[in-house]
């Protein structure tokens, strides 16, 4: 079974079909079923760094030239990297050229979206402050918006072991709410030894890695509860 590319989705696939309908079987100059081979040759320029030989004088600590036994100044050959362009040629049709450019843009957009989602998730999971009242007086409209914006989406109240399933769980409270969620942490605690599990649950002794894994499991559970 062929693996589906991450950028592929029904909307984008449909757009590629429209692109083929418009440009399919055309040469780079837009001729359908063009018999001229040169019209399919595409030249692409790529920026690269290449070493370039350069002689530099040998200097002492005072900036004076160092000379050999015959009184001639000494030089070293160094190879600093300089920018250059290399050109590659390939045989393409107009559809391939346009679709490849479009797919690269989609991949870049998806990468940016993943980074933005991760940053938003990270900030939401690591907010650890909550105010019950404003600094001075009652909430204004702007103050209320700021208050709700800076709140984390949940607070971790406790870790425990279920008396029914004997599995570790986390007790959460949703921000500005009386709703409590109980999140199964079996997958998070599975690699740990019995001693480390007991220390984490009973005494709250957790490594940074374990703490991040618990936070992420809780965040995913809250996200599923709120948005599914």
Last residue of a domain, one of 60, 77, 92: 92
Looking at the fold, whether 159 and 85 belong to one and the same domain comes out as no
Residue 79 falls inside a structural domain: yes
Six-digit token string for 145: 């918006």
Residue 114 has pLDDT above 70, yes or no: yes
Share of the chain above pLDDT 70, in %: 85
pTM over 0.75: no
Residue 94: pLDDT band with limits 50, 70, 90: very high
Six-digit token string for 222: 């809250």
Looking at the fold, whether 154 and 82 belong to one and the same domain comes out as no
Give pLDDT tens digits for 201-221.
Answer: 777 777 788 888 888 888 888
Residue 51 falls inside a structural domain: yes
Phi-psi region of 62 (alpha: psi -120 to 50; beta: other; left: phi over 0): alpha
Cβ atoms of 173 and 155 closer than 8 Å: yes
Residue 1 falls inside a structural domain: no
Cβ atoms of 47 and 85 closer than 8 Å: yes
E runs forming strands in the chain: 41-51, 54-57, 75-78, 81-91, 154-161, 168-174, 180-184
Report pLDDT for 127.
56
Range of weakest confidence among 8-12, 14-18, 61-65, 123-127: 123-127
Looking at the fold, whether 147 and 216 belong to one and the same domain comes out as yes
Looking at the fold, whether 219 and 153 belong to one and the same domain comes out as yes
Q: Structural domain tally of the chain?
A: 2
Report pLDDT for 129.
45
CA angle 69/71/73 to nearest 5° reads 105
Looking at the fold, whether 146 and 207 belong to one and the same domain comes out as yes
Q: Is 148 exposed, middle or buried (0-12, 13-18, 19+ CB in 10 A)?
A: exposed
Give pLDDT tens digits for 122-158.
Answer: 766 665 444 444 445 555 555 555 555 556 778 888 8
**Which residue range forms the structural domain that includes residue 85?**
43-92
198-201 contacts, C-beta under 8 A, 24 or more apart: 200/159, 201/159, 201/160, 201/161, 201/168
Q: How many Cβ atoms are within 10 Å of 40's Cβ, its own excluded?
A: 19
Q: How many Cβ atoms are within 10 Å of 212's Cβ, its own excluded?
A: 14
Radius of gyration of the chain (CA): 31
Looking at the fold, whether 153 and 219 belong to one and the same domain comes out as yes
Residue 81 falls inside a structural domain: yes
Six-digit token string for 126: 């690591």
Q: What is the largest CA-CA distance in the chain?
A: 92
Looking at the fold, whether 85 and 147 belong to one and the same domain comes out as no
Last residue of a domain, one of 33, 62, 92: 92
Looking at the fold, whether 151 and 88 belong to one and the same domain comes out as no
130, 134, 139, 140 alpha-carbon torsion, rounded to 10°: -100
Looking at the fold, whether 148 and 223 belong to one and the same domain comes out as yes
């Amino acid at each position: 079974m062929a693996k589906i590319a991450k950028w592929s989705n029904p909307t984008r696939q449909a757009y590629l079909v429209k692109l083929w309908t418009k440009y399919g079987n055309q040469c780079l100059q837009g001729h359908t079923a063009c018999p001229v081979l040169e019209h399919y040759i595409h030249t692409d320029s790529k920026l690269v760094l290449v070493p370039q030989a350069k002689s530099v004088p040998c200097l002492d600590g005072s900036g004076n030239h160092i000379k050999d036994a015959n009184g001639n100044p000494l030089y070293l050959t160094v190879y600093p990297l300089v920018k250059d362009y290399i050109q590659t040629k390939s045989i393409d049709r107009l559809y391939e050229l346009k679709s490849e450019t479009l797919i690269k843009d989609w991949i870049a957009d998806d990468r940016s979206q993943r980074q933005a989602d991760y940053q938003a998730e990270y900030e939401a999971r690591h907010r650890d402050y909550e105010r019950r009242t404003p600094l001075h007086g009652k909430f204004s409209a702007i103050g209320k918006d700021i208050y709700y914006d800076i709140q984390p989406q949940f607070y971790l109240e406790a870790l425990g072991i279920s008396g029914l399933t004997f599995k570790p769980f986390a007790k959460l409270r949703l921000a500005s709410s009386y709703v409590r969620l109980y999140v199964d942490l079996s997958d998070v605690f599975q690699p740990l030894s019995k001693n480390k599990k007991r220390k984490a649950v009973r005494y709250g002794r957790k490594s940074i890695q374990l703490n991040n894994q618990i936070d992420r499991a809780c965040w995913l559970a809250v996200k599923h509860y709120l948005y599914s």
